[in-house]
Amino acid sequence: MEKSIKNIWDESFISEKSLIAPKVNNLYNQKSKSIIHRIRRIYEFDNKGLIPMAVLTFVFLTVISEVVIGAYSALLILGLYFFNKKLLSRFKTLDIKSDTLTYLKEYRSITVSITKATKKLFVFILPLAVLSIFVIAFFMKEQSFLSKYISEDMSFLQAFSIGLIIAVIISIICNAVYAISTQLVYGTLFSKLDDIITEMETLKN
């Protein structure tokens, strides 16, 4: 990704006919490069942060005698890391030989698809993962943290229902948290990128 962006701007692939003047070309050139670089850095930083999170989760749960749950949780987090890595690989499919406006529109389209995919992950997959942890903990019983809350006569359906309610609550919370965090972290950058695309389309027309 880094090499691709460098090639795009360093080799000046922008067509002079696409904008009014070379000076305008350079202006949008630098603005676009800066914004895309920052978005990429944040994406990569967020994703790489999942690796130490997985390690810390496993260590913490192991310390409190939840080895199985800890290992399972760590694997789920690592799964999220590889899922995000695959999403970010979409940027490599961009055609670096296209003009700047086309490249930026395709880049923005990919960021939108990543945002939607990640939102679905947090709203649906994460709660299901929590529910699965609840199910595993139920069958472990005495060896699980749920042993304090599950009575001997509680059926699997009752325990599953409680887990499902918790999963729904987590889904609602995740939806709100994801919307707010995405706006705080990426909102301004996405807005600036949209403004550049709009301005370039206006000038081109």
Please say if the pLDDT value at position 117 is more than 70: yes
Average pLDDT of span 6-17: 49
User: Residue 93's closest CA among 101, 84, 78, 103?
Assistant: 103
Mean pLDDT over each residue of the chain, to the nearest integer? 78
Please say if the pLDDT value at position 13 is more than 80: no
Instruction: Write the pLDDT tens digit of every residue in 170-193.
Output: 889 888 888 898 889 898 889 988
Tokens of 102: 């086309």
User: Residue 16's closest CA among 8, 24, 6?
Assistant: 24
The Cα–Cα gap between 169 and 67 comes to: 26
Which range has highest mean pLDDT (23-32, 111-120, 130-139, 149-158)? 111-120
Q: How far is CA 44 from the centre of its chain?
A: 9
Please say if the pLDDT value at position 109 is more than 80: yes
Spell out the alpha helix ranges (H) of 49-155.
50-63, 67-88, 100-120, 126-140
pTM: 0.71
Please check whether residue 128 is in contact with residue 167, taking contact to mean a CB–CB distance below 8 angstroms: yes
Tokens of 96: 């670096």
Please say if the pLDDT value at position 12 is more than 70: no
Tokens of 95: 């055609």
Tokens of 162: 């409680």
Please check whether residue 155 is in contact with residue 139, taking contact to mean a CB–CB distance below 8 angstroms: no
Using a 10 angstrom Cβ sphere, with 0-12 exposed, 13-18 middle and 19 or more buried, the burial of residue 35 is buried
Average pLDDT of span 69-90: 87
Instruction: Write the pLDDT tens digit of every residue in 133-163.
Output: 777 777 766 555 555 666 666 777 877 788 7
* 56 vs 148 pLDDT, higher one: 56
Please say if the pLDDT value at position 20 is more than 50: no
User: Residue 187's closest CA among 42, 5, 21?
Assistant: 42
Quick one: pLDDT band at residue 82, thresholds 50, 70, 90? very high
